[in-house]
Chains A and B, each alone.
Chain A
Amino acid sequence: MSWLRIALRNVLHDGTRVISTLLIIAVGLTALLVGSGFMLSTYDALQEIAMRSEGHVSIIDDTPDPALGGAHQQLTLSHWQTLQADLWEDERVVRVLPRARFEGMISKGDESAVFFGSGVDPKEEFRVHGPFLRTDGILNPWLTPQETPDVMLGTQLARTLGATTGDLLILHTQNRHAENSEITVQLAGLYHTGTPDIDNHSLMTNLTTVATLLDTDNISQLSIYLQRREASTAVQTFLQNRLDGVTVQTWYQRAELYHKVKALYDRIFGVMGLIILIVVFLAVSNTIALAIHQRREEIATLSALGSSPSRIYANFILEACLIGLAATTIGMLLAYAISNAINLSELMMPAPPGKTEGYPIFIYISWPHYFITSVTLIITVVFASFIATRNATRVSIVKGLS
């Protein structure tokens, strides 16, 4: 015999009302958990993309060099080889990738298109993107310094040119001295990221090809990949304090797409979450108010027996807690089952803004997240019952008994 037992009795006694309340809370929680699980995994994927494409920490030189022509303002980082060698000494660092960005026209026969190119260290470059950059039909060897230099194209750019692997193409640009410069290259393969800016216009080639074409050893960016992403800020601060004349940024500072999508999704899921909480709040306070109306004779009896208003209050809130606890347990199990089913079903996530296609759908299942969301919901339920019970104990006992 305890208050808990009495609360349990009342909850079980009131079957249909309890089941409907239970369902509303459970379904609301399931929606919250699956929705936010989707949101979190999208953030995670976008962070992953940002880290993989930019490196955890980047070194750039953003002071314009008046000696360079307009087409070369992206190639400002000089003497990077010593920097790279130094960085390899740091045990926190796994990879240091140079990237030389340049742009111009690419043509095959009569077809030509604008390109945004990167000179890269190919062996490493194609490893760091992981599942976010897929390659297709690659020649062997590829992107190595050879007699006829070669390039990799974004799939869509190749399609625009009507080019297939093995074709010869011409790159036209201006070199460091603002003179026209061109080079014949072989198409060594295609790659695909799902980001239209990249797939439609980008190409990659060996750093040496860029150096030949543009007559400079400069690059745009040194991307540093670390053992642990958590070290990003520490390494950034460390390098910024040690290096003069360059800017050091973390992936987070450079992850434009991630920040845009996050801002949008935060708003969407924030509104969705708020709506679910409001629905739960209204449904629960409504059913509890109804139940209290039906039980006003019981409330009057308990008052006559000497239950204080706060005691009666506490009993109703205990009942709400039990319902909330049972409902959130059901909701969590439901969300867990649905999330696993979705994760196993190999569905694709809808493409986030700025992407043309989704990636394999994945719904985050994290117990701390489940716990926090459930507690938020239980607090909502208790608050709703608090509001609904507030006036119930003020009714006169005599009226309640008659």
Chain B
Amino acid sequence: MDRRLELEAITKRYGRDKNSITALQDISFTLFAGEFLAIQGPSGSGKSTLLNICGLIDNPSDGDYYLNGVSVAQLGVSERCTYRRRDIGFIFQRHQLIPAMTVYENIAYPLLLNGVTPKQIRHDVNQLLDTMGLEHRRKHLPKQLSGGERQRVGIARALIKRPQLVIADEPSASLDHQHAHAGLQLMRKLNQAYGASFLVASHDPFVIDHCDRKIELLDGRLETPA
């Protein structure tokens, strides 16, 4: 199997000298193409920090990692931006929908960024809205949606461009069980359909049970050797 993401001794420290906090210590693991990997751990164990590094929006203090075999440490700011734009999808814990934009526009935004033609955008977004049962909400603003609907929009926005890597930071944290369940099933369905690799942080046992594999963080260290 192709290695999508490969971490080698990643360490992240905040602050300097005596007061420094080590959020991640010596993290090494591999995420394979099409794999659905859960990161488990209590609050403060470093899950978000790890995901931010894997999603190229944060930098490790030490160690290197490889995205499709390319050393991320060698990438410049604009190259990282390009990777995020084309190849990485983010599902945020608080959804982070753009308040002024409609459901349709929020989902279409990554395609617009990637220079997809308007016709293609219309086709893809409408299809995904259908798949996710959101077509009746397409013209609504985020504030008019329920938490579960917002999460589905957030998932749709992350998946619309069919990224190779999807990063999801506690996607179900703000949802009740039923909605969390639906959201997870959606992600799995799309994982199987598109073959994207998923990296999902959660402390929800239900989510973790439905992943291919899990790794466990405790105080910034990996508990289960990958």
Contact = CB atoms under 8 A, between A and B. Distances in A.
Interface of A: 1-3, 5-6, 9-10, 12-14, 297-298, 301-308, 311, 396-398, 401
B80 to A, nearest CB: 9
A398 B52 contact: yes
Contacts of B157: 305
Contacts, number: 77
A322 B116 CA distance: 24
B99 A305 contact: no
A303 B118 contact: no
B84 A1 contact: no
B105 A305 contact: no
Interface of B: 52, 55, 57-58, 78, 81-86, 88, 90, 92, 96, 98-102, 104-105, 108-110, 112-114, 118, 121-122, 157
A307 B99 contact: no
A153 to B, nearest CB: 74
A298 B94 CA distance: 12
Given A298-B98, A305-B109, A306-B81, A397 B57 contact: yes
B60 to A, nearest CB: 12
A304 B105 CA distance: 17
B90 A305 contact: yes
B101 A6 contact: yes
Contacts of B99: 13, 298
Contacts of B113: 305-307, 311
Contacts of B85: 305-308
Contacts of A303: 57, 81, 84
Contacts of B100: 6, 9-10, 12-14
B84 A304 contact: yes
A1 B122 CA distance: 9
A1 B105 contact: yes
B62 to A, nearest CB: 17
A163 to B, nearest CB: 78
Nearest to A301: B96
B84 A306 contact: yes
Contacts of A308: 78, 81, 85
12 contacts: A1-B108, A1-B121, A9-B102, A10-B100, A13-B99, A298-B96, A298-B99, A303-B57, A306-B83, A307-B113, A396-B58, A398-B57
Contacts of B108: 1
